[in-house]
């Protein structure tokens, strides 16, 4: 049987005392333990990641709004792309992609979180000769941005 050194024991106690949690894991308050997730597009990347995060953090998603302890409403879920730069022969060199979501949380007719908008932006270079690869790169960026936004929403929910 090995005993912890005093310095290791101190480190463990400090981590526990400061509220440290593994990445992606945050205790949810009772108010959002059994939420209803309301979204215009339930199959979007963001909603899928948010649903996964809620479940992996101990929430039980309710199928009916009336049975839920809180309603997480996704008010906006939008992905956009715009040209960032062009070459001297007027060909696209770079794109900027933006993922924007807006959400609110209500419980029992009370507003727990007022409508909030979160946005994340990325840029990527573009090459016409690698069209398929660049399309795949944009898909990967969209998924990563959706995952980041879902993590941001989870942090806001855990702070209620």
Q: Could you report the per-residue pLDDT of 95-135, keeping only the tens digit for each?
A: 999 999 999 999 988 999 999 999 999 999 988 878 788 78
Tell me what pLDDT residue 27 has. 75
Residue 3 within any structural domain of the chain? no
Strand partners, 102: 76, 117
Residue 2 within any structural domain of the chain? no
Residue 98 within any structural domain of the chain? yes
Residue 148 within any structural domain of the chain? yes
Number of structural domains (the chain) is: 1
Residue 107 within any structural domain of the chain? yes
Give the domain range for residue 93: 23-158
**CATH number, residue 125:** 3.30.160.150
Residue 1 within any structural domain of the chain? no
Q: Could you report the per-residue pLDDT of 86-95, keeping only the tens digit for each?
A: 999 989 999 9
CA atoms 60, 71, 152, 159: torsion sign: negative
Tell me what pLDDT residue 1 has. 47
Residue 7 within any structural domain of the chain? no
């Amino acid at each position: 049987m090995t005993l912890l050194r005093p310095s290791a024991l101190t480190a463990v106690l400090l981590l526990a005392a400061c509220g440290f949690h593994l990445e992606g894991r945050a205790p949810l308050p009772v108010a959002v333990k059994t939420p209803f997730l309301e979204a215009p597009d339930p199959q979007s990347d963001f909603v899928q990641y948010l649903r996964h995060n809620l479940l992996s953090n101990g929430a039980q998603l309710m199928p009916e709004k009336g049975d839920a302890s809180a309603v997480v409403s996704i008010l906006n879920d939008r992905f956009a792309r715009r040209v960032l730069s062009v070459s001297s022969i007027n060909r696209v060199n770079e794109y900027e992609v933006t993922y924007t979501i807006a959400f609110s949380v209500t419980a029992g007719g009370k507003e727990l979180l007022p409508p909030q908008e979160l946005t994340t932006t990325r840029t990527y270079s573009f090459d016409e000769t690698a069209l398929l690869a660049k399309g795949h790169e944009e898909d990967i960026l969209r998924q990563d941005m959706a995952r980041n936004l879902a993590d941001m929403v989870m942090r806001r929910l855990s702070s209620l």
